[in-house]
Amino acid sequence: MSTTAAIQVAGLEKDFAGARVVAGVSFEVAAGEIYGLIGPNGAGKTTTFRILAGLLSPSGGTAHVDGVDVAAQPARAKARLGFSTGSAGLYGRLTAREQLEYFGALHGMPAAKLAARIDEVSASVDLTRLLGRRCEKLSTGEKQRVAIARALIHDPPVLILDEPTAGLDVLASRFLRDVVLAMRQAGKAILFSTHYLAEAELLCDRVGFLHRGRILREGKPEELKAAAESTTLEQAFLKMAGEAS
Amino acid sequence: MNLRLLATVYRKELRETLRDRRTLAVMILLPLVLYPMMSVLAAEYFISHETSRQARKSEVVLVGPGAAAGPIHDALTAASAPLHVKVEPGRVVDRQQGLRALAGADAIVVAPADAEAALAGDGTLELAVYYDASDDESSLAEERVSSTLKALANARLSARLEEEGLAPAFVKPLALTSVSLASKGKVGRAEVAKTLPFVIVLMVLMGAFYPAIDLTAGEKERGTLEPLLATPAPRRTLLAGKLLTVATISALTGLLNLLCIAGAGLWIARSAVRAAGKSLDLSGVLEAVPWGAVGLGVFALAVATLLFSGLMMAVASLARSFKEAQNFLTPVYLVASMPAMISWLPGTKLSYGAALVPIANVTLLLKDAVAGTLQAGPALLALLASCGWAAAALALAAKIYDSERLLFAAEASEGGAGGWRQLLFPARAARAAAADAKLRAPDTFVAFAPGEAFVLFAVCTLLLLGAGSEMQAYGLGGVAASLWLCLALPVAVAARWRLGPDAALALGLRRPRLRHIIGAALVGASGWIVLVSLVLPVQEWLFPTPPALEEALRTLVAPESSLALKLFAVAITPAICEELLCRGALLRSLVRPLGRTGAVVVSALMFAVLHLSAYRFVPTFMLGVLLGTVALASRSLWPAMLVHALNNATVVLLTGPTTKDEHASWSLPFAGAGIALLAAGFALLLPPRGSQR
């Protein structure tokens, strides 16, 4: 296992009441790389992400974020990780600024540093003019931008984005993709999931096909397409998943 | 705990909560606007209605030969009488006619022909007033007629006494004067003490309701819980901040309500007193209020807000959505508000026993504090007990908040044998999943999801209350039949329906180890000694058994039936039937959501509830804890059944139910021997150190 990878997942397992949801998942994501975890609902994507984010404890295997074992030192691992889900999950009765202030404070950021960081992050996701508005009044795309800004507030080296473009219109998802690419440029390791395989093809440096709790195959989108003799990633996935079941 | 972080969480939660319209409505709108408006409007309506009612003259018909003239006619038609009298000497009225006789009048007075003669002489004039006791106006007319005629009678009596040369005291040999030595203020406070604590406790509970949901299940529903828990802030700190917020809102609701009720009460009292042409004097009410005791009561209430908040947050955390949490919390609210009603009951005071009952203790403490009858001992115990209950609620909330179940109730129940639809329509898929789970983890392979187990429990309890109590009238045979039909049968049918041939295993009916059987035999033989020598005396001291119940228990076991029937009905049958429901269905289903300790405690509580006797609650609960521990330790239902059967059999064989007098004869060595046997039994039952699951 390389020591430079920002995310290291090895033999990860998770059982829910006797049912094995994640069954020995292993992958690595390097700094400055976008890794796409692709699979149908119930494949185990969200569970894997939740284990990495310290929300669930693994039943077996290990997960490291920026070199820190998430099971052994959850607080240290969480400090190195930005986590955002497709449902945005914002406090509707707080303004965007209050939202960012709250999460910055939960990350232990001092007030002066926090104010500067809010300006910086809001500018990077085009949020500055929305900062004073209550989140319940924002559009879906605007909410998603606040959620990304929140995940970035403590400037983590690792970012997990669980279906960030779900339910967004063309312009908003385009904008979000640009943001993700900019973050890669900034050297962050990005773990990403989406149901739009064309989007994964556009965005991801490498892709892992997750099916029934196992990684069927991983590699660059071109490699996977070539291996399955398919023209699109979607066809490749369907073919490999069909062979596996 | 990082206090700065705690303050951050508290500030944010409070700010967000105070921007929530629902919470604001319950906390501020209801007390500040609705209650005062309602009570003032109600009072004004009452006063104006009563005034116009009193101003209206009652319609009275005077009939009979003496109606047209004479003393009765004169008295009733006098200008001072609030009556409008219609004279119909020719009309005949008798009881046979019923209400038809009134024919629109409020009352009918029948005046006989010889009225004047009877009143003037020394006889008694027989008069009848017909009215409708079910009608308020008619009753008022009857009162007015009778007081008018009483004045006439008094005047005639005075005249007769004067004629005979007798003093008025002649017909009044005794005059009793009742003097209450309590000041007006104390009487007023005693009245307030009956209602106020109940209302305040209810308001505090209600105040905790919405914030508790909003900050747990609401957060889950809005999807904010995941990002929140993904921050490095410790979960305990997050929970503490939320809890303080809920407690603050709950306390504020109580306080605002108190102020508004007091304000509205004063306003109404002032208008009533002013209407009577006087001014309101409050000095009597406020003087000598035991402010120290009231302060203690307020402190106890503050502790209680932590209890309510912790309890409600713990329960709401189990829900997936706001709506589900509302469904979960409504029964909690109803059950929690019941002990508060104790302050309404006449004569209730804070005793040592009541001091241990959560919520009731705070209500009674407040009642005694306001009434000025608080005693130091029970008050201190109530305060300690409240702190203990609050700590337990907080620990429960912390346990749930720390568990993965908090986040992912849906996933956690997906793998198990859960879901309402699956209960109604047990699909093959569910059975296959259950069979899979059985192979993976036989210990967690359960027959029912927790909600299903509770519904089953409720059905069984209702059956036992209804059909069961009818059957139990037919002696011991009926008792046994009621348990088999109301408990064992529903559990068996539901489990079989749900899981087919796997039902027995899912209920915990697995072959036990020999070690566990011997351990259970020891526990079964000795548990009862401990119960009788240690638990029952404490129970009798706190809640003495009423003689009627003792007699009923005695006659249940003592009648001249054969020993075999007694053992079957009182030992074997309850052991099998009650274990199937309380341990097989309930306890096993609760282990996953509540953990082993929580499952044992809750199932023991339900076991005590099943016995439907407040006086036997504590010992039954203790027995339930014992049986639950045995069932979990042995991983089988059979040893628990053995303990249960042996325990009940000892009661039948040795003494019959014990009474207070018999407790005195149990010596310390006897109790010691019991504890030693119990310990030996548990040593065999509990897994050796190191192999604990």
ipTM of predicted assembly, 2 dp: 0.94
Sort out which chain A residues have CB atoms less than 8 A from B226's CB and list them. Answer: 50, 53, 55, 83, 85, 89
Which pLDDT belongs to residue B511? 86
pLDDT tens-digit series, residues A187-201: 999 999 988 888 898
Sort out which chain A residues have CB atoms less than 8 A from B444's CB and list them. Answer: 17-18
Please tell me what DSSP assigns to residue B214. Answer: I
**Which of the residue ranges A146-160, B48-62, B339-353, B588-602 has the most confident prediction, judged by mean pLDDT?**
A146-160
Smallest Cα distance from A160 to chain B, Å: 11
- Does position B487 have pLDDT exceeding 80, yes or no? yes
The residue ranges of every structural domain in chain A are 88-155
**pLDDT band at residue B291 using 50, 70 and 90 as cut-offs:** confident
Q: Which residue of A has its CA nearest to B220?
A: A89
- Does position B422 have pLDDT exceeding 90, yes or no? no
pLDDT tens-digit series, residues B147-160: 999 999 999 899 89
Decide if B223 and A85 are in contact by the 8 Å CB cutoff: yes
pLDDT tens-digit series, residues B248-281: 999 988 888 888 888 887 887 777 777 777 776 7
Cα separation, A184 vs B271, whole angstroms: 75
Which pLDDT belongs to residue B590? 86
- Does position B414 have pLDDT exceeding 70, yes or no? no
Sort out which chain B residues have CB atoms less than 8 A from A151's CB and list them. Answer: 227
Q: For A210-219, B233-242, B503-512, which range has the lowest pLDDT when averaged over its residues?
A: B503-512
DSSP assignment of B406-469: HH-HHHHHHSSS--HHHHHS--HHHHHHHHHHHHH-TTT--SS-HHHHHHHHHHHHHHIIIIIH
Sort out which chain B residues have CB atoms less than 8 A from A106's CB and list them. Answer: 5, 8-9, 228, 231-233
Which pLDDT belongs to residue B547? 72
Decide if B407 and A18 are in contact by the 8 Å CB cutoff: no
pLDDT tens-digit series, residues B351-374: 888 898 899 999 999 999 888 888
Sheet holding B107-110, edge to edge: B83-88, B58-63, B107-110, B128-131
Smallest Cα distance from A141 to chain B, Å: 16
Smallest Cα distance from B230 to chain A, Å: 6
Q: What percent of chain A has pLDDT over 70?
A: 97
B residues 265-324 near A, CB within 8 Å? Answer: none
Please tell me what DSSP assigns to residue A37. Answer: E
* Region class of A241: left (phi > 0), else alpha (psi between -120 and 50), else beta: alpha
B20 Cβ under 8 Å from any chain A Cβ: yes
| Cα distances (Å, whole numbers) of residue B536 to B72, B571, B577, B584 | 70, 20, 25, 27
- Does position B48 have pLDDT exceeding 70, yes or no? yes
Please count the other Cβ atoms lying within 10 Å of the Cβ belonging to residue A120.
13
B435 Cβ under 8 Å from any chain A Cβ: no
Which pLDDT belongs to residue B426? 42
Decide if A94 and B16 are in contact by the 8 Å CB cutoff: yes
Whether the Cβ atoms of residue A92 and residue B17 lie closer than 8 Å to each other: no
B21 Cβ under 8 Å from any chain A Cβ: no
pLDDT tens-digit series, residues B593-630: 777 888 899 999 999 988 877 777 888 888 899 999 99
**pLDDT band at residue B415 using 50, 70 and 90 as cut-offs:** very low
- Residues on A contacting B at a C-beta cutoff of 8 Å: 15-19, 21, 47, 50, 53-57, 74-76, 78-79, 81, 83-85, 87-94, 98, 102-103, 105-108, 147, 150-151
Smallest Cα distance from A57 to chain B, Å: 8
Which pLDDT belongs to residue B54? 87
| Residues forming beta bridges with residue B86, ordered by sequence position | B61
Cα separation, B152 vs B26, whole angstroms: 58
Whether the Cβ atoms of residue B207 and residue B255 lie closer than 8 Å to each other: no
B residues 369-408 near A, CB within 8 Å? Answer: 404, 407-408
Q: For A48-52, A217-221, B587-591, which range has the lowest pLDDT when averaged over its residues?
A: B587-591
Q: Which residue of B has its CA nearest to A109?
A: B5
- Does position A40 have pLDDT exceeding 70, yes or no? yes
Handedness of CA A84, A89, A95, A99 (dihedral sign): negative
Q: Which residue type sits at B307?
A: L
Sort out which chain A residues have CB atoms less than 8 A from B410's CB and list them. Answer: none
Which pLDDT belongs to residue B498? 80
Which pLDDT belongs to residue B618? 80
Which pLDDT belongs to residue B412? 39
Decide if B411 and A16 are in contact by the 8 Å CB cutoff: yes
Which pLDDT belongs to residue B659? 46
**pLDDT band at residue B578 using 50, 70 and 90 as cut-offs:** very high
Q: Which residue of A has its CA nearest to B237?
A: A106
Average pLDDT over residues A202-219: 91
pLDDT tens-digit series, residues B639-653: 999 999 998 888 777
- Does position B216 have pLDDT exceeding 50, yes or no? yes
**pLDDT band at residue B442 using 50, 70 and 90 as cut-offs:** low
Buried residues in B364-392 as b, exposed as e (16+ CB within 10 A):
bbbbbbbbbbbeeebbebbbebbeebbeb
Which pLDDT belongs to residue B427? 44
**Which of the residue ranges A196-210, B192-206, B276-290 has the most confident prediction, judged by mean pLDDT?**
A196-210
Q: What percent of chain B has pLDDT over 70?
A: 86
- Chains A–B, number of C-beta pairs less than 8 Å apart: 106
Cα separation, B474 vs B471, whole angstroms: 6
pLDDT tens-digit series, residues A73-122: 999 999 999 999 878 889 999 999 999 999 999 999 999 999 999 999 99
**DSSP three-state, residue B347:** coil
Which pLDDT belongs to residue A60? 92
Contacts of A159 (CB under 8 A, 6+ apart): A81, A82, A83, A84, A151, A152, A183, A188, A189, A190, A191
Sort out which chain B residues have CB atoms less than 8 A from A57's CB and list them. Answer: 404
- Does position B664 have pLDDT exceeding 50, yes or no? no
**pLDDT band at residue B424 using 50, 70 and 90 as cut-offs:** very low
Sort out which chain A residues have CB atoms less than 8 A from B12's CB and list them. Answer: 91, 94, 98, 102
Cα separation, A149 vs A124, whole angstroms: 8
Over chain A, what is the mean pLDDT? 90
Which pLDDT belongs to residue B410? 46
pLDDT tens-digit series, residues B162-184: 988 999 888 889 989 999 888 77
Write down the H helix ranges in chain A: 45-52, 74-79, 96-106, 111-124, 140-152, 170-185, 197-203, 221-227, 233-244
Among A73, A100, A102, A135, most B C-beta atoms within 10 A, so best to mutate, is A102
pLDDT tens-digit series, residues B502-557: 788 888 888 888 888 999 988 888 877 777 777 677 767 766 666 776 676 666 66
- Does position B350 have pLDDT exceeding 70, yes or no? yes
Whether the Cβ atoms of residue B120 and residue B95 lie closer than 8 Å to each other: no
- Does position B657 have pLDDT exceeding 60, yes or no? no
- Could you tell me which CATH class the domain B57-168 is placed in? alpha beta
| Token couple for B289 | 């209020």
- Does position A143 have pLDDT exceeding 90, yes or no? yes
- Does position A130 have pLDDT exceeding 80, yes or no? yes
Smallest Cα distance from B434 to chain A, Å: 9
B5 Cβ under 8 Å from any chain A Cβ: yes
Class of residue B652 by CB neighbours under 10 A (exposed 0-12, middle 13-18, buried 19+): middle
Average pLDDT over residues B23-28: 76
Decide if B433 and A91 are in contact by the 8 Å CB cutoff: no
Residue A27 phi/psi, 5-degree rounding, is: -165, 165
- Does position B425 have pLDDT exceeding 60, yes or no? no
| Token couple for B534 | 């240690």
Strand bridging mode B83-88 / B58-63: parallel
Of B430 and B277, the one with more pLDDT: B277
Q: Which residue of B has its CA nearest to A54?
A: B230
B14 Cβ under 8 Å from any chain A Cβ: no
pLDDT tens-digit series, residues A177-190: 999 999 999 999 99
Which pLDDT belongs to residue B552? 67
Decide if A53 and B226 are in contact by the 8 Å CB cutoff: yes
Cα separation, B388 vs B310, whole angstroms: 12
Over chain B, what is the mean pLDDT? 82
Which pLDDT belongs to residue B690? 45
Q: For A240-244, B348-352, B558-562, B579-583, which range has the lowest pLDDT when averaged over its residues?
A: B558-562
Smallest Cα distance from B409 to chain A, Å: 11
Q: What percent of chain B has pLDDT over 90?
A: 26
CB-closest option in B20, B227, B234 to A84: B227
The residue ranges of every structural domain in chain B are 3-34+185-277+286-405, 57-168, 424-685
Cα separation, B665 vs B399, whole angstroms: 43
Smallest Cα distance from B443 to chain A, Å: 11
